[in-house]
Amino acid sequence: MYIAGLAGLGLIVLVSIYKCASGEVRQAESEKCFFCDFAHRRQGPPPILEVETDEYVIFKDKYPAARLHYLAIPKEHFDSLKALNKSHVGLVRRMEQGMMEFLRSQNVDPKEAIVGFHLPPFISVRHLHLHGIFPPADMSFGNKISFMPSFWFKKSSDAIRELEDREL
């Protein structure tokens, strides 16, 4: 089991590195960000927005890892957590709180859900997005690895603590 887990992890890491190196994850400067289009309703048909505020939107993930899998994205474009600093703590905290409230509205205890961010180069879309996933038991083995706290995935609470320590 341990060896199978390491093999699965190795495969995920290699695929992610390949995607990053080959440019599959990168968007050309001239290319539009479709998450920005979703957030600003510029391109249709966008996903159904479950929550919309002045700062962020929440919608269902196109490729859900479990029965409930939602994304919270800011309306302002940021490539990833790496693009943020201490001044963005409030935004990330509000996104986290919004996701928690949304999960509660779906009869989910947020403490039992996975709520966090992937880190570069292990991101599928270069636009900051917070995952809210439940129940973890529904997830495939590969998704369990992909969304476990590690150097490629950070729980939202850990991300906030890290941002609080960053320079402006």
Known active-site residue 129: yes
Whether residue 110 contacts residue 100, with contact meaning beta carbons closer than 8 Å, is answered with yes
Joined tokens for residue 42:
């510029």
Joined tokens for residue 139:
């997830």
Give dist(CA 34, CA 37) in Å, integer. Answer: 5
Alpha helices in the chain (DSSP H): 2-22, 34-40, 89-105, 141-146, 156-164
Selecting among 88, 118, 129, 131, the annotated active-site residue is 129
- Catalytic sites, residue numbers: 129
